[in-house]
Structure 1
Amino acid sequence: MSSKDIVTEAAEELFGRRDPSAVDRWVSADYRQHSSLAADGPEALRRLVTGLPEGFRYEGARVIADGDLVALHGTYHGFGPQPLVAFDLFRVDADGKLAEHWDALTPVVSDTASGRSQTDGPVEVSDRDRTEANRELVVEFAEKVLKGADYSVLTDYISGETYLQHNPEAADGLDGFGAAAAVWAGQGKNLVYKTIHRVVAEGDFVLLQSEGEFGVPVAYWDLFRVADGKIVEHWDVVAPVPDELPHANGLF
């Protein structure tokens, strides 16, 4: 089985069927956890799955595979009083077991600035022959614009006329992003990217997991869709870094 097949089947058994015994089939004995929702190791994951309430469900949107890393983008219903949009990232080991997990979650917003939801839009991976070129484009954009804060080169990387936005507070286009950024700055929440920790690329999709500040220390998860050499669509989750975690592995 491919890494993508392993993760999608494991996630379906764990979070779709809420089957604790799936831990035995799919999870490594030295499973390393980075989520704020569970402690380290397979038994902590088993306890999490066992405690999921009736009516809990996961609504998947996208799956992106890059070597031993597989990212899921979707919505959890039942983790709390409101649905949560999530990115989950799994590392699959050489034995075909889930060996490591990172995630970020944020509440669903029904009334967004663009009128788009936080997960709608294209879901199927295309342009697989462009994976490395698209990875290079997004990484360069991240270094120059996100980390370097050089917004003068935005149009070198983003298609301003067709840029579609799924961040709930930003409208479509570069003007929409600029207006949202001005509001955030007025609230003392400047976009500060310090470290790009991981890049997951498959075809036209490139996901960045980053560390920075947005008024407080945060994890940035940004998913970009690339077409014809320009970024044309963006989804994200911005999650505060917790003061404490139920393990010693860190969020990243």
Structure 2
Amino acid sequence: MRPLTRTLAGALALSTVLLVGEPAMAASRPAVTAARAEASQISRSKALVTDFTQRLYNRHDLSAIDAYLDADFTQHDPRIADGPTGLRAYLTAQNAAHPDAYLSVKRVIAEGNLVAVHSNLVLDPGTRGYSVLDLYRLSGGKIVEHWDTTQEVPATTVSGNDMFSTLSSPQVSRPDPSAPTALNKQLVTDMYKQVFVDKDVTAFDRYVVDPYYQHNPGFANGIQAAKDGISGMFSAFPGFHSDTYRVIAEGDLVVLQSRGTFTSDMAQGVFDIYRVRNGKVVEHWDIVQNVPSTSSNDNSMF
């Protein structure tokens, strides 16, 4: 009787565990399903924008405008008139002036209906070209809105780093799908607010870890260099303030769009890209463009 009793008791215990665990497993299924659906949507959005980019800028195929842009497409690049016709006219002129222009995509980051593409645009082969961040908003399988900043790639940088490579480990440009997206997004948002809104440069000590790899051409690597450089900017422009417009994150990469206002007639549009590893910022890229006094459209850069 004893072996049978032990067997029966074990079976009852196992059934109890299974019955108790079943509601928890059932409750987790919708979350897993939602996460998979979101990942699938992000993958489709990135594929759409990547194909649009390759066709438009590397094959010079302007039919991509008709295929991918919504009829009510909104343009925020101050050089380009609004709508699909504005982009077509701008690229027609650019392709005529620079028939061998090409674009090299460095990283693509997406969240929700937003896709950010960091790339090197070279108008004439043999030149360094430009660092560009294009941000696209999608709806109904079409691109409905676009923001960007463009910065000329300099001959040298203070750190010795270029504006595009990944130097922190692992040296891959794609987002890490296992990294905690939401936590990394909040970490960067908090750091940026404390540094650039509250003007507390000691926040770098709390959120960043050395070796901190810097791709801004004017900064050296490391936490102290960042603190010194930003402190100097605040001293030179005591009225400086920053406004954040959008933050998107995928895995270990976070993109933040902002406007930095130095004086009443001097402002810059900025896209910052931060890489977060193990709860600390380890690498930074940015693309900075002066906000012009006039624009070819009425939508502002933001």
Normalising by the residue count of structure 2, what TM-score does the alignment of the two structures yield? 0.77
Shift of residue 174 of structure 1?
A: 1.3
Match of 2:11 in 1: none
Shift of residue 153 of structure 1?
A: 2.6
Letter in 1 for 2:218: E
Whether 1:220 aligns to 2:262 is no
Residues 109 and 118, structure 1, Cα contact 8 Å, conserved in 2:
no
Deviation track 1:108-155 (CA, whole Å, cap 9, x = no partner) reads 012111111011114121144400000010111111112111122321
Match of 1:39 in 2: 81
Match of 1:139 in 2: 189
Letter in 2 for 1:170: F
Whether 1:201 aligns to 2:249 is yes
Match of 2:222 in 1: 173
Match of 1:99 in 2: 144
Point out the structure with the larger helix share: 2
Q: How does 1:108-187 map to 2 (within 5 A)?
A: 108-121=153-166, 122-159=172-209, 161-181=210-230, 184=233
Q: Distance in 1 between matches of 2:143 and 2:57?
A: 14
Match of 2:66 in 1: 24
Match of 2:112 in 1: 67
Match of 2:129 in 1: 83
Letter in 1 for 2:49: V
Q: Distance in 2 between matches of 1:191 and 1:60?
A: 36
Q: Distance in 2 between matches of 1:54 and 1:2?
A: 30
SS of 2:147 mapped into structure 1: strand
Match of 1:8 in 2: 50
SS of 1:63 mapped into structure 2: strand
Shift of residue 213 of structure 1?
A: 2.1
Shift of residue 66 of structure 1?
A: 0.7
Task: Note the residue ranges of structure 1 that are not aligned, 5 or more in a row.
Answer: none
Residues 110 and 117, structure 1, Cα contact 8 Å, conserved in 2:
no
Residues 181 and 190, structure 1, Cα contact 8 Å, conserved in 2:
no
Residues 201 and 230, structure 2, Cα contact 8 Å, conserved in 1:
no
Identity of aligned residues (%): 34
Asked which structure has the greater CA Rg, the reply is 2
SS of 1:151 mapped into structure 2: coil
Shift of residue 234 of structure 1?
A: 0.3
Residues 234 and 240, structure 2, Cα contact 8 Å, conserved in 1:
no
Q: Distance in 1 between matches of 2:177 and 2:276?
A: 9
Shift of residue 194 of structure 1?
A: 2.4
Letter in 1 for 2:89: R
Query: Of residues 96, 101, 104 in structure 2, which corresponds to 1:56?
Result: 101
Shift of residue 176 of structure 1?
A: 2.0
Residues 202 and 227, structure 2, Cα contact 8 Å, conserved in 1:
no
Residues 267 and 290, structure 2, Cα contact 8 Å, conserved in 1:
yes
Letter in 1 for 2:149: A
Residues 252 and 277, structure 2, Cα contact 8 Å, conserved in 1:
yes
SS of 1:133 mapped into structure 2: helix
Shift of residue 106 of structure 1?
A: 0.8
Shift of residue 20 of structure 1?
A: 1.1
Q: Distance in 1 between matches of 2:160 and 2:242?
A: 30
- Count of matched residue pairs: 249
List, as ranges, runs of 4+ consecutive aligned residues in structure 1 with deviation greater than 6 Å.
none
Residues 19 and 49, structure 1, Cα contact 8 Å, conserved in 2:
no
Q: What is the RMSD computed on CA atoms of the aligned residues? A: 2.1
Residues 224 and 235, structure 1, Cα contact 8 Å, conserved in 2:
yes
Deviation track 1:4-36 (CA, whole Å, cap 9, x = no partner) reads 111000111111111111111111100000002
Shift of residue 74 of structure 1?
A: 1.1
Q: Distance in 2 between matches of 1:217 and 1:190?
A: 14
SS of 2:66 mapped into structure 1: helix
Shift of residue 200 of structure 1?
A: 1.3
Q: Distance in 2 between matches of 1:221 and 1:190?
A: 22
Letter in 2 for 1:77: V
| Change in CA separation of 1:73 and 1:189 when aligned onto 2, cut-off 3 Å | farther
